[in-house]
Structure 1
Amino acid sequence: MSKKEIFKKLRKILREGDVEAVKPLMEELEEAGVDPMKAIDVCTDEMRRIGKGFERGELYLPDVMVAAEVMREIASALMPKLKRERKFLGRIVIGTVQGDIHDLGKNIVAALLEAEGFQVFNLGKDVPAKVFVERARKVNADIVGASALMTTTMLEQRKLAEEIRKAKLKVKYIVGGAPVTDEWAEKVGADARGEDALDAVTKVKRLLGISSPEKFKA
C-alpha cells in the first residue's frame, strides 16, 4: 500500500469510526515507512473536517464520538514512534460544572483540542469549582474551560470564575454550553465563550496567541 493510500485509509477509518482497523493499518504504515508526524497531521485535519460536518448538521454526535475514539487509538499507537516531538500547544483543564451531568459536547471539544496538540485534562461532569482550580494549579494549566448545559447550572460558571480569581491563578477562562451567551461570559468575567466545538478550539488558540496551521494536503 502506498503512502497516499494509507493517508486515505486513515481518513476513512476516522469517518467510519472503525477502531478495529487501527492496529493493522498502523502495521502497514510502519512497513511503508510513513512519517508518524505526517500521519498525525492527516488525522488532525480529518478530525477538523468531521467537527465541521457535525456543526453543519451533516454528521451526528455518535459519528464524532467514535471518530474521537479512533483518533485516540491512532495517537496512542503513533506518539511513541514520532521521529520528532509534536509541538506542545498548552495545557487545558476542562469539565462540566457541578450539578450538570451533560458532557458529550464537552467531550467533543476535548477530543478536538487533543487532536490539535493540546494536553487536555478532562475532569468529566458534575465537577465542583474547587476541583477545577486544584487541578489547574497542579498541572500548571494555561486554560480552564467550563461547560454548562442548563440555565440552572450556569451560575456555577460564575462561581468558578470567582474561585479562579480568589486562587490568583494565571489562566485564561473559557465557558460554553447551549444556554451560554457572550453577554453571560462577559458578566461572569470569562475571557471567551465557545459557541460550538470548533469555535471553542479557535477561541482557545486565540487566547494563547496560537495561529491556526495550514491544512495538511493528503
Structure 2
Amino acid sequence: MIPLTKTWDPADLIELREVYAFVVPFIANTTHVTRVWEYTMALEAYRRTLKWPLQDKAILDVGGAGSKFGDILDHYGASSFLVDPHVNTTIEDYTGTPADMIFAISVLEHVEQVTPFLDACWRNLKPGGLIFLTLDIWDCEGPDVAHFHWMRKRIFNVETWKRVLSHLQHRGAKRYGTADWAYHGHQLYASYSTASLAVIRGHP
C-alpha cells in the first residue's frame, strides 16, 4: 500500500488507478501536471480515513481558490468549504465549524508563516479528523533557485518536510500510515518535485 506521506513517484498512479479514475475527468486540460498526483493522493487519503461515500463529511479546502480539487469534492458529494484569502479569509482567521478533513494542496510553500498556518489547521480539525497537505520539495539546501521560485515563499527539502510533521506531532497529531522519506527525483521542470503529508487527530 502506498504511503500517504511521500514524494511524487510516477509509479504511484499505477497503483492508485482506481482513485485516479475519479480525478481524470477534472484534470484533462490542466497545465499543472503535479495536480494529477496531488488530487489522486488526496482522494486516496480520504478513502482510507473517512471512507466512501463523501456525503455528510465536512471538509475545508484551504488555499484552493481556482483549483479543480473543490470541484472534485463537490461532484462526489462532499460538503467542502473553501478557505482562501483571495475569496473570504485565511485559515488563521477562520471561525467556522471544525472539519472532518482539511486539505491544503500546494499551499504551505506560499504562506507567510508555516507554524501559525499549521496550528490553525490543527485547531479547526475535529477529533478523528485528518489533515492532508502537499508542498514543493527538492533535494537541495540553500536558497530556492528551482523553477517558479519567484512564486514561493520557500521550498522544502526532506529535513524541513519532516519538521512539518514534527510540529504537528507536538500538537498531538499522529502520522497516518507509513512514510516514504525518499526523494524520487525531480518531477517538475527538472528542478523540484512535490511531497505529501497525512496526519490524524486522535479522539480525546
Q: TM (normalized to structure 2)? A: 0.40
Greater fraction helix: 1
Q: Higher relative contact order at CA 8 Å, sep ≥6: structure 1 or structure 2?
A: 2
Q: Is the radius of gyration larger for structure 1 or structure 2?
A: 1
TM-score (norm 1): 0.38
